[in-house]
Copies of this chain bind each other. A is one copy, B any other.
C-alpha cells in the first residue's frame, strides 16, 4: 500500500503544508484507498487540539460566533480549524454560502482551516466523519477546532458529543421554547451563551436556563461549599449555580450562562475565558482523560461497525447469496431474522479477515 505519493503526503503534512492537510482530509472524508493507513499513521499525533462544538437552533448566529471566536484565537497566536457539519436537511440549505462570505477575512487567514462536511451516507455516520476530520486537524497541529453543526436534530447531538466542550447557543427568541429543549441538549451543554443578547428577552432567557440548570444539577449542588447554607429558594439556587460555575477549584462543573452579541464582537472575551475555564476543569478533574478515552472507545466501535459493513456488503458472493433468498423472503417462507442468522454464520471468515 505504501507508495511515493503517500510518503510525500506524510512528509508535506509533517512539514505543515496546508495542501497536504486538505488532501489528507479529502482522503479520510471520502474513505479513499489508504484512508485507514493514513489515520493509523496520524493516530499518535492526535490529542493536543481542543475541540469545541457549537450547537443551537438555526438563526442563533453560530457562524458569526465561530468567526468571532476564530478572530480572538488568531489574535492570541493560535491556529484554528473550523468544521461545519450539515446533516443535509432537504428543506434548508443555501444559508451556508452567505455565512461563508461573512467569514471571508477569517477564511483568507493562513492560520485558519475551514472544512464543510455533509452526510457521508452509507459509509458511516456524520459523527464518525467529524471525528476523523478533527483527528486529522489535530494531528496537523491545529490548536482549536470549532465544530459547528448547521442542521437540527439527533445527528447534531451525536456530532456535539465528539467535542471536548459543547457550547450551546441560544437567542432571546428561544425563550418560548426553552421548556421544550430536550434533555439531550441539557446533558451535553458545558457552556451556554445567549447570543444576540442586545435583543429584548435575553436576561429572562438566561435566568430561565440557570433555573433549569439548578433543577437538574443534583450532583452539582452537593458540591457547593457548605457555607452557602441550605436555602433552596429559587434565587438562591440561581446564585449557587452561578457561584459554582465561577469556582475554579470546584470538583464539578455547572455550565455558565453567558451573553454575547457576536455580530458586534460583544462578550467574546468572556466566552473564551469560560471555554478556557472549562478546559482547565476538564484537565484538573480528570474528565478530559475520561472523555477522550470514551471517544477512543467509541471510535473503535465505529471502525468495527464500518469494517463489518464494508466486509459484508462489499462482498459480491454475500450479496448474490442474499439476492437468491429474496423470493422465499417475499413469500413468507423465510424471515429476515433467519436469513440474517444464516448470513452471519456463513460470513465468519469474511468478517475475521484482516485485509480490506
Instruction: Name A's B-contacting residues (CB within 8 A).
Output: 36, 39-40, 43-47, 55-57, 87-94, 119, 151-157, 174, 177, 179-182, 184-185, 289, 292-293, 296-297, 299-305, 307-309, 312-313, 322-323, 325-326, 329-330, 332, 335-341, 343-345, 347-349, 351-352, 354
Our pick among B87, B326, B336, B348 for the contact of A352 (Cβ within 8 Å) is B348
Our pick among B45, B184, B307 for the contact of A90 (Cβ within 8 Å) is B184
26 contacts between A and B (CB under 8 A): A39-B335, A43-B332, A44-B332, A87-B154, A88-B184, A89-B152, A90-B184, A91-B174, A91-B181, A92-B180, A151-B152, A153-B155, A289-B330, A297-B322, A300-B325, A300-B329, A300-B340, A302-B336, A303-B337, A304-B312, A307-B340, A341-B354, A344-B352, A347-B352, A348-B349, A348-B352
Contact of A330 with B293 in the complex, beta carbons under 8 Å: yes
Please, how many angstroms separate the alpha-carbon atoms of A356 and B312 in the complex? Answer: 20
Please, how many angstroms separate the alpha-carbon atoms of A293 and B326 in the complex? Answer: 7
Other A-B pairs beyond A304-B312, A345-B354, 17, CB < 8 Å:
A43-B332, A45-B332, A56-B91, A57-B91, A87-B153, A88-B184, A93-B182, A94-B179, A94-B180, A152-B152, A292-B330, A293-B326, A297-B323, A303-B336, A304-B340, A347-B351, A348-B349
Number of copies: 2
Please, how many angstroms separate the alpha-carbon atoms of A215 and B349 in the complex? Answer: 48
Please, how many angstroms separate the alpha-carbon atoms of A55 and B209 in the complex? Answer: 33
Our pick among B153, B300, B329 for the contact of A152 (Cβ within 8 Å) is B153
Our pick among B92, B297, B301, B304 for the contact of A326 (Cβ within 8 Å) is B297
Contact of A153 with B89 in the complex, beta carbons under 8 Å: yes
Contact partners of A92 in chain B: CB under 8 A: 152, 177, 180
Our pick among B46, B93, B296 for the contact of A180 (Cβ within 8 Å) is B93
Please, how many angstroms separate the alpha-carbon atoms of A349 and B55 in the complex? Answer: 42
Our pick among B119, B185, B293, B354 for the contact of A154 (Cβ within 8 Å) is B119
Contact partners of A322 in chain B: CB under 8 A: 297, 300
Contact of B354 with A351 in the complex, beta carbons under 8 Å: no
Contact partners of A340 in chain B: CB under 8 A: 300, 303-304, 307
Contact partners of A45 in chain B: CB under 8 A: 332
Contact of A326 with B154 in the complex, beta carbons under 8 Å: no
Please, how many angstroms separate the alpha-carbon atoms of A177 and B336 in the complex? Answer: 40
